[in-house]
Structure 1
C-alpha cells in the first residue's frame, strides 16, 4: 500500500467501515500534499460536516439526494422559467414561442449561446443569435440541457447534486437503450426520469408539488412518485446501487430487468465518462 501512495490522486474512505472515533486519526494519516480525500457513504449532515472539518474534499452518499422539505418554499423565478420552457417543449410548442421564452431570461440566453459555442456541441462557426442556437442545438438536446441547467447555481458545474442527477439520467438512458433497443423515445424519457428524481432535493419541495407544475407522462409520474413501471424499476435499481445495497432485492430487480451484473457495470462506466466529458465541455 505504501508503495502505491505516491501514485494516488484521490483516496476513497468508506466511513461506514471506520470504527467510531477513529476517522480523525485516519484522515490525518492519509492527508498528503497533492492528494485529495473522498468520503464514501455519507448519509447524514453530521457525517458530512465532520468529514468537511477533517479535510475531505469529495463526497459520495445518499445524504446529497435526501430531500429536506421546507414548508412554504417556492421554486425560484429562474428555475420556474426553465420549468415553463420544458413544458413548452413537452407540448411541442412553435419554435417562435420557444425562442421568445428563452429571450425573456437573459441568463438562459447567455448560457445557451455559451453552450453552443463549445467543442461539446461541435458548431463549425460562432453562433451569435438565440434563434440560430436553438436550431443548432435541436429540441432533444435543448430539453436535456435545460434539465441539467436546473441544478446549476452560477458556475457550479461540479456540485454533488448536479453530478448525481446527470449520472442518474445518463445511467437510466443507457439502461433503457439496453432493455428496449431501437426505442429512442423510451431512452429519452428515462433520462428525464433520472434528472427529475432529485428535484425534490434541489428545490426542497415535495415531488408531488413539482409534478403539479410540469406536464409529464403518467409513466414518469408513476416512476417518480411510486417507483412503478419500467422506469420506476430502473430508478429503484440505481438508488440501491447509490446506497451500496446488496442482497436478494438487488438480485431480484436485475433478474426482472434481465440485466447481467457485467452489463450494469459497463453502463455505469459509460455514464460516468459521459458526465465527466459533459462537465468539461460546459465549464
Structure 2
C-alpha cells in the first residue's frame, strides 16, 4: 500500500494507455520504497494509502526496483500479470543481479530496463529483458535507427521516453517504437482557428448552464432529452457506484433532487467534456477528470465558493486546447464560461495558478514543487497527497463508466 506516489502513462500506437509507470516519493530516485513494519503501519493509519489496482486501474504497472531490492528483498505480494519489473540501476556491474533476474523471470515477471544509449544488446542480461526504454532526449535519431533492428530481432519491445510533442510521437513510431511515454497526447496536434461544429452546440449550451450561478433544470433537461446519447451517458455517470451506491436515478430532475445542484452541475460539465473530445485519446479525458476532482477538493480545503463548482470546472477544462486542437484563447471565446473560470484557465488567477503548478508536480513526480505549493496554499504536503490519491480513485471510477462508450483513437499512419 502506497501513500506518496505519482504515475505517468505509457501509451500504445493508438494512444490508448498500455501501462502506468509508478514513481514513489519515499523511494530512492522513484524506486519501490522499502518501509519498516512500523512505518508501513503509520502510513496505513494516517494517509489512506492506495493499492496498485487503485493507482493503475486495470492497466499494467511499471515499477522501478533497486538492484539491492531485486537481489535480496524482492516483494512476494506483487502480481506478475500486472507488474513489469524495471531495473532502476545500470545492470552492467551488479554482482548477483543476473541470477536474481533469472529468478524473477521464473516467477513470471516481465523485465524492463532504461537504455538511453541503446547499448544493452551487448550485455548478458539482454536475453532476460522484455522491454527496453529509450530516452529520446539522450540519443540522436540516427543512432536509434541504426540500433533498433537488433532489438526487433530479439523480440524486445521498445518504449520511447520523453515524447513531448506530436511530431516526436510520429517520428518515434516511424522508427519502430511500440510504446510512448510522455505528455505528447495532451498537446494540440495543430493550432488552427476553427469554429466548433454545429453538432456540438448542445454541448456548448450545457457548459454554459453548469457554470452559471443559477441552474435552469427545465432548460438543461430539454438539451439533454433531445440527444439520446447524452441522456444515456448522463444517467450512466450518475448511477456509477462510486458516486451513487443506493438509489437508481431515472431522470435529470430525479438526480437534482437526490444529488443536489452542485453535484449535478459537475456531471453536466463532465458529460460535456467527454462529448467535446470524443475523437481524442481517453487519457486526456482521464487527466482532466483527476484534475477536476483534485481542484474541487483543494477548493473545498481552501474555503472557496462551491456553487458553481469553480475548482472542478477549471480542472476539468484545463486541457481543452489539446481536446480541440486550438489555442486555449480561441477555445474559450467559443464557450459561455464565466469570466472567473476563463481567467483561471488562462493563468490570470494566483489561486488556480498554484493548483495548476501543484497538479503538474504530481503528474511529473516533481516533489520539491509539491513542497513549494504546499507552503503557498498553506496545506500540509502530506494532506495534498491524500487529496490527490482521492482524485485518482475518483477519476478511475468515472473512467470505467465511460470507457466502453468512448471511441478509440485511430492508429496514425
Give the TM bin, normalised by the shorter chain: 0.7 to 0.9
Q: Which of the numbers 73, 80, 95 marks the counterpart of 2:217?
A: 95
2:293 counterpart residue number: 170
- Taking the aligned partners of 1:235 and 1:166, their CA distance within structure 2 comes to 14
Q: Which secondary structure state, in structure 2, belongs to the residue aligned with residue 152 of structure 1?
A: helix
Asked if the contact 1:200/1:206 (under 8 Å) is kept, the reply is yes
1:82-124 Cα distance to aligned partner (Å, 9 max, x none): 2211312314233222211211222211222333444344365
**Structure 1 residues 252 and 4, CA, compared in 2 at 3 Å: closer, same or farther?**
same
Asked if the contact 1:227/1:236 (under 8 Å) is kept, the reply is no
How far off is 1:162 after superposition? 0.7
The gaps in structure 1 that reach 5 residues or longer are none
1:268 counterpart residue number: 388
**Structure 1 residues 129 and 143, CA, compared in 2 at 3 Å: closer, same or farther?**
closer
- Taking the aligned partners of 1:191 and 1:128, their CA distance within structure 2 comes to 25
Asked if the contact 2:206/2:269 (under 8 Å) is kept, the reply is no
- Taking the aligned partners of 1:66 and 1:208, their CA distance within structure 2 comes to 15
- State the 4+ residue runs in structure 1 displaced beyond 6 angstroms: 9-12, 154-158
Query: Once superposed, what is the RMSD of the aligned Cα atoms?
Result: 3.9
For the pair 1:198 / 2:319, whether they are aligned, the reply is yes
Q: Which of the numbers 253, 258, 261 marks the counterpart of 1:139?
A: 261
How far off is 1:43 after superposition? 0.3
Q: Which of the numbers 145, 150, 163 marks the counterpart of 1:42?
A: 163
Structure with the larger helix share: 1
How far off is 1:210 after superposition? 2.9
- Taking the aligned partners of 1:31 and 1:174, their CA distance within structure 2 comes to 42
Q: Which of the numbers 204, 219, 223 marks the counterpart of 2:344?
A: 223
How far off is 1:233 after superposition? 1.7
How far off is 1:199 after superposition? 0.8
123-132 or 134-143, which deviates more: 123-132
Q: Which of the numbers 213, 220, 223 marks the counterpart of 2:334?
A: 213
1:277 counterpart residue number: 397
1:77 counterpart residue number: 198
Q: Which secondary structure state, in structure 2, belongs to the residue aligned with residue 165 of structure 1?
A: helix
- Taking the aligned partners of 1:231 and 1:71, their CA distance within structure 2 comes to 27
Q: Which secondary structure state, in structure 2, belongs to the residue aligned with residue 226 of structure 1?
A: coil
- Taking the aligned partners of 1:251 and 1:184, their CA distance within structure 2 comes to 25
- Taking the aligned partners of 2:308 and 2:208, their CA distance within structure 1 comes to 19
How far off is 1:72 after superposition? 3.6
1:56-71 equivalences under 5 Å are 56=179, 60-71=181-192
For the pair 1:111 / 2:111, whether they are aligned, the reply is no
How far off is 1:44 after superposition? 1.8
**Structure 1 residues 173 and 115, CA, compared in 2 at 3 Å: closer, same or farther?**
closer
Compare CA radii of gyration and give the structure with the larger one: 2
Asked if the contact 2:136/2:162 (under 8 Å) is kept, the reply is yes
- Taking the aligned partners of 1:186 and 1:24, their CA distance within structure 2 comes to 54
Q: Which secondary structure state, in structure 2, belongs to the residue aligned with residue 234 of structure 1?
A: helix
Asked if the contact 1:227/1:233 (under 8 Å) is kept, the reply is no
14-23 or 264-273, which deviates more: 14-23
1:144-193 Cα distance to aligned partner (Å, 9 max, x none): 22333344369889712111111211222233333x15x56189321211
Structure with the larger strand share: 2
For the pair 1:235 / 2:352, whether they are aligned, the reply is no
- Taking the aligned partners of 1:260 and 1:126, their CA distance within structure 2 comes to 38
- Taking the aligned partners of 2:233 and 2:374, their CA distance within structure 1 comes to 39
Asked if the contact 1:14/1:39 (under 8 Å) is kept, the reply is yes
- Taking the aligned partners of 1:271 and 1:125, their CA distance within structure 2 comes to 23
**Structure 1 residues 195 and 128, CA, compared in 2 at 3 Å: closer, same or farther?**
closer
1:12-27 equivalences under 5 Å are 13=133, 15=135, 19-20=139-140, 21=143, 24=148
Q: Which secondary structure state, in structure 1, belongs to the residue aligned with residue 274 of structure 2?
A: coil
1:159 counterpart residue number: 282
Asked if the contact 2:192/2:327 (under 8 Å) is kept, the reply is no
Asked if the contact 1:169/1:192 (under 8 Å) is kept, the reply is yes
